[in-house]
């Protein structure tokens, strides 16, 4: 549960939203169409820093701004748009192509947008 | 084991859903046995009636009122953001909230359970799974592992 201000100004979604607490299953994040959110990832310990956050279907999850590199991670603002299911994935600085690389750290979030 | 005893156990086994092979000649012999056969017949009647009886009749619940969010079996591994006072219809088997101070049951209805957000926080809603629901959830998890 969140307060009304966060729902209006934008949710903060992070690593803890990737799994169901206490169960360990990867979760699907459900958002109403139009909901804005900021995805934040902290760099992995002893790993390459995160460099990209990419929406697999920009019609469903729209990137609102370019990603911002932080001292200890990365963040990017998105907006839920067309109803449907898609993912947002992150790769490290050693993956310049933007596609997932075998050598780079990789993680993803799954989103379900409803009207 | 006497014929009467064996027949009685056969009926009990059927009630429990087990398979029990028994020689039909023994059952025939039991009915021919005057006193023993009658006692056996009464026992079988009692067990058969018990097996056919039904549990307490459940009251008919009304359908749930409109809610802000709805969760069904397809969303069992989801995270939902709800603000204070909003309601969530969970169409699962008798779900409960881990932290009732955050999200508590507002009512149970014919098509699900309505929860109301009472405080800012994080909680998990867990259904009381039936075997069918668990099987469906397993299939969905498998499906989701290969797609968004």
Angle at which helices B34-52 and B24-32 pack, to 10 degrees? 120
Nearest to B83 among A4, A25, A86 (CB): A4
**ipTM of the modeled complex:** 0.82
Distance CA A89, CA A81 (A): 17
CA closest to B80 among chain A residues: A30
Contact list in A for residue B116 (CB cut-off 8 A) is none
Domain boundaries, chain B: 3-52, 69-144
Measure the N-to-C terminal CA separation of chain B; round to a whole number of Å. Answer: 61
Q: How far apart are CA A86 and CA B148, in angstroms?
A: 5
Going by C-beta distance under 8 Å and a sequence separation of 6 or more, which residues neighbour residue B84? A1, A3, A4, B117, B118, B119, B120
Facing residue for A27 by CB, picked from B69, B77, B82: B77
Contact criterion met (CB below 8 Å) for A18 and A107: yes
Average pLDDT, chain A: 88
C-alpha–C-alpha distance, residues B124 and B135, integer Å:
20
Residue A11 to residue A30: CA distance in whole angstroms: 12
CB A86 within 8 A of CB A111: yes
* A36-42 and B96-97 beta bridge pairing: unpaired
A24 touches chain B (CB under 8 A): no
Chain B residue nearest residue A24, CA to CA: B77
Residue of B nearest to A10 (CA): B81
Distances B129 to A5, A21, A96, B125 between C-alpha atoms, Å: 35, 18, 45, 12
Question: Which residue from B78, B98, B102 is facing A1, i.e. has the nearest CB?
Answer: B102
Domain regions of chain A by residue span: 4-114
pLDDT band at B148 (very low <50, low <70, confident <90, very high): low
Could you tell me the pLDDT band of residue A113, with boundaries at 50, 70 and 90? very high
CA distance B101 to B133: 27
Compare all CA atoms of chain A with the CA of B88 and give the residue at the minimum distance.
A1
pLDDT tens digit sequence for B36-74:
444 444 444 344 444 455 566 667 899 999 999 988 877
Residues A6-46: tens digit of each pLDDT: 888 899 999 988 876 666 677 899 999 999 999 999 998 87
- Contact residues, A window 70-109, toward B, CB-based 8 Å cutoff: 85-87
* Chain A CB contacts of B77 below 8 Å: 20, 25-28
How many Å apart are CA B136 and CA A15, to the nearest integer? 27
Look up tokens 């069992």; give the residue: B76
Among the CATH numbers 3.20.20.80, 2.60.40.2020, 1.10.10.10, 3.40.50.1110, which is that of A4-114? 2.60.40.2020
* Burial of A57: CB neighbours in 10 Å, binned 0-12, 13-18, 19+: middle
pLDDT at B17: 42
| Count of other CB atoms within 10 angstroms of residue B55 | 5
Taking the C-alpha atoms of residue B79 and residue A31, their distance in angstroms, rounded to an integer, is 9
Chain A interface, mutation test: which of B67, B72, B77, B79, most A Cβ atoms within 10 Å? B79
Contact B78 A30 (CB under 8 A): yes
Residue B113 reports pLDDT greater than 90: yes
């Amino acid at each position: 549960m969140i307060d009304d201000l966060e729902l209006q100004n934008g949710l903060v979604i992070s690593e803890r939203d990737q799994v169901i607490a206490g169960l360990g299953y990867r979760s699907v994040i459900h958002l109403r169409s139009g909901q804005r959110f900021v995805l934040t990832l902290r760099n992995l310990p002893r790993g390459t820093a995160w460099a990209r956050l990419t929406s697999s279907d920009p019609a469903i999850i729209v990137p609102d701004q370019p990603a911002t590199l932080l001292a200890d991670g990365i963040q990017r603002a998105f907006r839920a748009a067309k109803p449907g299911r898609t993912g947002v994935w992150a790769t490290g600085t050693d993956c310049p192509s933007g596609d997932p690389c075998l050598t780079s750290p990789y993680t993803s979030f799954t989103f379900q947008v409803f009207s | 084991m006497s014929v009467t005893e064996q027949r009685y156990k056969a009926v009990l086994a059927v009630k429990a859903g087990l398979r029990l092979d028994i020689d039909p000649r023994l059952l025939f012999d039991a009915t021919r046995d005057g006193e023993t056969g009658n006692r056996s017949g009464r026992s079988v009647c009692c067990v058969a009636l018990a097996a056919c009886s039904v549990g307490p009749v459940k009251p008919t619940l009304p359908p749930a009122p409109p809610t802000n969010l709805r969760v069904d079996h397809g969303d069992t591994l989801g995270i939902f953001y709800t603000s204070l006072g909003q309601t969530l219809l969970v169409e699962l088997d008798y779900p409960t909230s881990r932290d009732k101070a955050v999200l508590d049951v507002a009512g149970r209805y014919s098509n699900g359970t309505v929860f109301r957000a009472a405080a800012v926080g994080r909680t998990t809603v867990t259904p009381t799974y039936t075997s069918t629901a668990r099987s469906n959830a397993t299939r969905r998890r498998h499906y989701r592992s290969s797609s968004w």
